[in-house]
Amino acid sequence: MAKKTTKSFILRVDSDTMDAIEKWAADEFRSTNGQLQWIITEALRKARRLPKKKKTETNNQEENSDETQV
């Protein structure tokens, strides 16, 4: 499986929004960064903006999910 690369950037968020994100992250047992990544990924998925997965990546993910369901 190809290794994903990450990019860093600065995000300015008002304090009330940041407080809400931090609380939500704590409720979900995630880091604030992890919560922001999840929020962005979910928004992209719902908007159908995520890049199409290659056939082999999809098959590998299905195989891995089958193993964890045992």
The predicted-structure confidence for 27-53, as pLDDT tens digits, reads as follows 999 999 999 999 999 999 999 999 888
Structure-model confidence comparison of residues 70 and 28, the more confident one? 28
Query: Cα separation of 31 and 22, whole Å?
Result: 8
Query: Which one, of 11, 62, 5, 16, lies nearest residue 40 by Cα?
Result: 11
- How would residue 57 be classed by pLDDT, with cut points 50, 70 and 90? low
Asked if pLDDT for residue 69 goes beyond 90, the answer is no
- How would residue 62 be classed by pLDDT, with cut points 50, 70 and 90? low
Query: Cα separation of 53 and 70, whole Å?
Result: 25
Q: Where are the domains of the chain?
A: 15-53
